[in-house]
Amino acid sequence: MIIIMLGAPGTGKGTVAGILQEKKGFKQISTGDIFRKNIKEQTELGKIADSYISKGNLVPDDITVELVKSVLDNEDIEKGIILDGFPRTINQAEELDKYLKSKDNKVDLVVNLTTPEKEIIERIVNRRVCSNQECKTVYNLVLNPPKVPDICDKCGSKLIQRDDDNEETVKARFENYTKQTSSLIEYYDKKGILFNAVVSKEINKLGADVARDVIEHIDNMKKR
């Protein structure tokens, strides 16, 4: 099964995807992780991506597609994958469809998460991530703090705040996301594979709650 996680930064895509990976065994592939790895290693594509990300802008389609395809080429798609943060435009979606078709595969489910902007800002500025790349557990200092400050509960590694997890960059990313991906939601809705969910403390529904709903939906899909 191939699942796509849609949602603005801070809506909980990583949390939901992480639970699906743990419970269903699907491999989580985060576009953000792909970008950060290439930026850290100073690859040519990574340098280009960084010039956009550092300003709160979305990376151009051609660069994003090539980075994602370079990772997918080395993955066993048949075992199931979760694409977190990709695609973000119609062009990216169409390129992904072409790529999967060449592998005799297709997107099975698209989970679209929405959260009020004020909550997104609060979440991201308080977000901390495990520095261990084999773990990458995400915490929130307000909603889901670690038991020991700055230390990951699962592996004991140091928690870090990403450079782009600040209010100014978050607002720019949210605005860009809304402008560029609204048509993408319609694209997958027409295909009949869209699953909408609200993640918000105002309705007492967070990432773990939505993940349970998604798992139930997947199980029902398999029964059809």
Q: What is the reported pLDDT for 82?
A: 94
Mean pLDDT of 101-126: 92
Q: Which of 13, 36, 128, 136 is catalytic?
A: 13
Query: What's the chain's average pLDDT?
Result: 90
Catalytic site residue from 36, 88, 123, 136:
88
Catalytic residue among 36, 127, 128, 136: 127
**Catalytic-residue membership of 88:** yes
Q: What is the pLDDT of residues 16-56, one digit of tens each?
A: 988 999 999 999 888 888 888 889 899 888 899 999 888 87
pLDDT at 180: 78
Catalytic residue among 106, 162, 191, 212: 162
- Please give the Cα distance from 199 to 162 (Å, whole number): 22
Task: Report the distance separating Cα 44 and Cα 64, nearest Å.
Answer: 12
- The answer to whether residue 128 is catalytic is no
The pLDDT assigned to 222 comes to 79
Look at residue 139 in the predicted model and tell me its pLDDT.
Answer: 92
Is residue 103 scored above 90 in pLDDT? no
Q: Which residues contact 8 (CB under 8 A, 6 or more apart)?
A: 114, 115, 120, 173, 174, 177, 178
Annotation says 127 is catalytic: yes
